[in-house]
Homo-oligomer: A and B are copies of this chain.
Amino acid sequence: MARQPIKFGILGCADIARKFSRAITLSPNSTLYAVGSRSLEKAAKFAKENDFPESAKVYGSYEAVLDDPDVDVVYLPLPTSLHVKWAVLAAQKKKHLLLEKPVALNVKELDLILEACESSGVQFMDATMWMHHPRTAAMKDFLSNSELFGELKSVNSCFTFAANQDFLENDIRVRPDLDAHGALGDTGWYCIRSILWASNFELPKTVLALRSPVFNKAGVILACSASLYWEDGKVATFHCSFLANLTMDVTVVGTNGTLHLHDFVIPFEENKASFSVATKSGFTELVTGWEPKPSEHHVTTDLPQEALLVREFSRLVGSIKFDGSKPEIKWPTLSRKTQKVLDAVKLSIERGFEIVEV
């Protein structure tokens, strides 16, 4: 007998929740089951506009979603400062937790969330979608190949977008009481994740923020850069910003190979994505050209990356619910490492660009 799809409840009607609602609908093992907002009217409007099934529950509070015994998963796209409260509560109510990034204001808060998940035996995952694109696995194959890529030497990541005036004045991501990390928590989260991903999630030993952060009047970061250092000499840099044209680069250079992509967070197109690799690149005899040249690789996907995330999360939840499996520890571990580095960058900035141990 086919298993029942995993039932998702959404807390709040954030813009990103629209994309996630579609992903839950697209994923074969999940269903949109409930949405809760502080306004019942808003919740009803959201459910209607995002193709919730007729039978879906619409609630006028977040608590009501958590109290619904049929909700398996809570997707939590609230502002970061509210994460610890609602995530811990959701976990205590035995809801599996899909948490938007940045997952917390700091690793201490995240640990409260992760401890609550652990003691309730629920699955935790952050909503970093690109991790679930098949391109990411294909790139990992390349980076893991000692012949083709060799030993990692450096990573550079850049995620910027040009926020408009309304965003820069009113978006939750520029408000110190809501998303206190600004661009570092938003686009910087992805840069840090990509660097950790490229380094097999080996934490850097130290972090140094570069001397170029831009703050708004409230002290929220609108742009910043940082450098990361490992014991073995690997080095990484990233730049994140709300103040420059949309750019999503990852460059990974090893002793034998190089990987490039320019759309790592959101692929240019939904159903196909590419990346460029080069191995043992050299020159023609008189150094007038490259030999071999880099090559472009294409990966197609039937489901967009956010639906693949939902499918994987629902699979893990199903294993726990139906088979008595344990939660997959990989996902909270990756979130925690990302948050640790983010905290270190923030601290380095606060300390006037001092070097900070991770």
A200 at the interface (CB under 8 A from B): no
In the bound complex, residues from chain B placing their C-beta under 8 Å from that of A156 are: 156, 158, 237, 239, 249
Q: With A211-B229, A212-B233, A239-B237 given, is the CB distance from A150 to B245 under 8 Å?
A: yes
Q: With A22-B286, A268-B293, A269-B289 given, is the CB distance from A160 to B253 under 8 Å?
A: yes
A42 at the interface (CB under 8 A from B): no
Interface-facing stretch out of A32-40, A72-80, A168-176, A277-285: A277-285
Interface-facing stretch out of A259-267, A309-317, A331-339: A259-267
- A243: nearest residue on chain B (CB-CB)? B153
Provide the bound-state CA to CA distance between A243 and B233, in Å.
Answer: 11
Provide the bound-state CA to CA distance between A214 and B153, in Å.
Answer: 11
Provide the bound-state CA to CA distance between A299 and B161, in Å.
Answer: 28
In the bound complex, residues from chain B placing their C-beta under 8 Å from that of A270 are: 284, 288-289
Closest 10 CB pairs of A and B: A246-B281, A212-B235, A153-B244, A244-B253, A270-B288, A247-B258, A268-B290, A210-B227, A245-B258, A19-B286
Number of interface residues of A (CB under 8 A): 66
Q: Are B247 and A253 in contact (CB under 8 A)?
A: yes
In the bound complex, residues from chain B placing their C-beta under 8 Å from that of A266 are: 283, 287-290
- A206: nearest residue on chain B (CB-CB)? B211
A-B contact pairs, 7 of them (CB 8 A): A22-B286, A225-B237, A244-B258, A245-B256, A246-B290, A266-B290, A269-B293
Provide the bound-state CA to CA distance between A160 and B278, in Å.
Answer: 13
Q: With A19-B287, A19-B288, A253-B244 given, is the CB distance from A154 to B162 under 8 Å?
A: no
A182 at the interface (CB under 8 A from B): no
* Residues of A2-27 contacting chain B, CB below 8 A: 16, 18-19, 22
Q: Which residue of B214, B249, B278 contacts A246 across the interface (Cβ within 8 Å)?
A: B278
Q: Are B227 and A235 in contact (CB under 8 A)?
A: no
The oligomer's copy count stands at: 2
- A256: nearest residue on chain B (CB-CB)? B245
Q: Which of A16, A262, A282: most chain B CB closer than 10 A?
A: A262
Q: Are B211 and A279 in contact (CB under 8 A)?
A: no
The 8 A CB mask of A270-305 against B (1 = contact, 0 = none) is 100000101111111011111001100000000010
In the bound complex, residues from chain B placing their C-beta under 8 Å from that of A320 are: none
A31 at the interface (CB under 8 A from B): no
Provide the bound-state CA to CA distance between A282 and B227, in Å.
Answer: 27
Provide the bound-state CA to CA distance between A160 and B235, in Å.
Answer: 13
Q: Which of A237, A270, A278, A294: most chain B CB closer than 10 A?
A: A237
Q: Are B245 and A278 in contact (CB under 8 A)?
A: yes
Q: Are B249 and A251 in contact (CB under 8 A)?
A: yes
